[in-house]
Amino acid sequence: MSGRIVIAGAGSIGCFVGGLLALGGEEVVLLARPRIAEEIGTHGLTLTSFEGWREQLEPTRLKVETDPAAALADAALVLVTVKSGATAEMAALIATHAPPSAAVISLQNGLANAAILRAALSNRAVYAGMVSFNVLHQGEGCFHRGTSGPLVIEAGAPPLVAPHLDIIAHGDMAAVLAGKLVYNLNNALNALSGLTLRQQLADRRWRLILAAAQDEALAVFQAEGIQPWSLGKVPVTRFPRILRLPNVLFRLVSRRGVRIDASARSSMWDDLERRRPTEIDELQGAVIAKAAALGLAAPVNHRIAEAIRAAEAAAAGSPRLDPAALLRRRS
């Protein structure tokens, strides 16, 4: 990639991906909130992974901006990594400050972000993307990758290359984003549990709830004629059956799936702990809305969404629910 790459919304994913692109020799500008900009200016970036590697970028190797006009000027490519609720706002900033020739790639959770960007940036090339792995901000400029998986970008987008990143192009991003949404339905359950991902998925009671939520999502995608893309060897459509297995069998089968760091947690858990709005409307909320439009029911996703919204309102971090509380509500 030749030219400036702007990370529009340098949080956990943005700092991790942007840092690796800079490590690979790209000209990268991180558009960040003042708190993150100050942290990176003091500590630089430390990027680590469950695989064991560690990369350090000193503050002098990074360009961080808090002013959108300064960051987006002369951009050749904009990677949008803001939370989904801020997509329209970021689109307006790109329209105002980025050159008309700048391409835009959404690297966000949810199904609708690329469409929102295209509607606001109709004269620009806009592409969908999907980050399949988890990144946790550990403070002092350290961002840790806790799960395996590639970075998937819509075919035809400007090519990206970075160390430690498996970047692939795909021609059917609707299928890719649908598959990611099925995975991401666990974000809320992990946030409600207060456990690490490994601990939570080891508890069959949590897995039973996730399986039911995924069943509802898969029914929606089937009705829409979408076959969700599978990130690993196990087809997404088999997930609910695997999640319902007894613990011993689940441990055996899950070894073929995504690798998870012992300390990994979901980004929604991080949002609750930091008292930030979550992306529940783009995850469980998307299933609920699509189900309603198709005349289908999504009671499990409704219940999960209600529990997350209650936790947001309480502003006390993860409620550390016992899964039986959600199971009882379903009955």
Query: 94-127: per-residue pLDDT in tens?
Result: 999 999 999 999 999 999 999 999 999 999 999 9
Q: Where are the beta strands (DSSP E) in 146-259?
A: 151-154, 167-170
Q: Where are the beta strands (DSSP E) in the chain?
A: 4-8, 27-31, 45-49, 54-57, 63-65, 75-80, 103-106, 126-131, 135-139, 142-145, 151-154, 167-170
Res 1: pLDDT: 66
Same domain, 324 and 180: yes
Which of 129, 150, 171 represents a domain boundary (last residue)? 171
How far apart (Å, rounded) are the C-alpha atoms in residues 194 and 85? 24
Which of 140, 171, 202 represents a domain boundary (last residue)? 171
Same domain, 160 and 181: no
Query: What residues form DSSP beta bridges with 49?
Result: 145
Cut 0.85: pTM above it: yes
Same domain, 283 and 318: yes
The number of helices, as runs of H, and strands, as runs of E, in the chain is 14, 12
How far apart (Å, rounded) are the C-alpha atoms in residues 98 and 107? 18
316: phi then psi, degrees, rounded to nearest 5: -125, 20
Same domain, 239 and 313: yes
Residue 173 burial by Cβ neighbours in a 10 Å radius (0-12, 13-18, 19+): buried
How far apart (Å, rounded) are the C-alpha atoms in residues 234 and 138? 31
Closest Cα to residue 131, out of 112, 110, 151, 149?
Answer: 151
Same domain, 139 and 178: no
pLDDT tens column, 199-245: 999 999 999 999 999 999 999 999 999 999 998 788 999 999 999 99
How far apart (Å, rounded) are the C-alpha atoms in residues 204 and 196? 14
Same domain, 239 and 156: no
How far apart (Å, rounded) are the C-alpha atoms in residues 32 and 37? 6
Number of folded domains in the chain? 2
- The CATH number given to whatever domain includes residue 299 is 1.10.1040.10
Query: What residues form DSSP beta bridges with 169?
Result: 153
For 159, which DSSP code?
A: P
Res 326: pLDDT: 82
Closest Cα to residue 138, out of 11, 315, 317, 308?
Answer: 11
Order of strands, sheet of 135-139, starting from the edge strand that comes earlier in the sequence: 54-57, 45-49, 142-145, 135-139
Same domain, 222 and 246: yes
Which of 131, 154, 171 represents a domain boundary (last residue)? 171
Res 330: pLDDT: 47
How far apart (Å, rounded) are the C-alpha atoms in residues 285 and 302? 8
Pairwise pLDDT comparison (308 vs 328), residue with the higher score = 308
The C-alpha R_g of the chain, in whole angstroms, comes to 19
pLDDT confidence bin for 329, thresholds 50/70/90 = low
Q: Are 15 and 39 in contact (CB under 8 A)?
A: no
How far apart (Å, rounded) are the C-alpha atoms in residues 259 and 271? 23
Res 331: pLDDT: 42
Domain hosting residue 130, numbered range: 4-171
Same domain, 29 and 160: yes
Q: Are 312 and 278 in contact (CB under 8 A)?
A: yes
Local structure of 244: helix, strand or coil: coil
The owner of tokens 């949002």 is 271
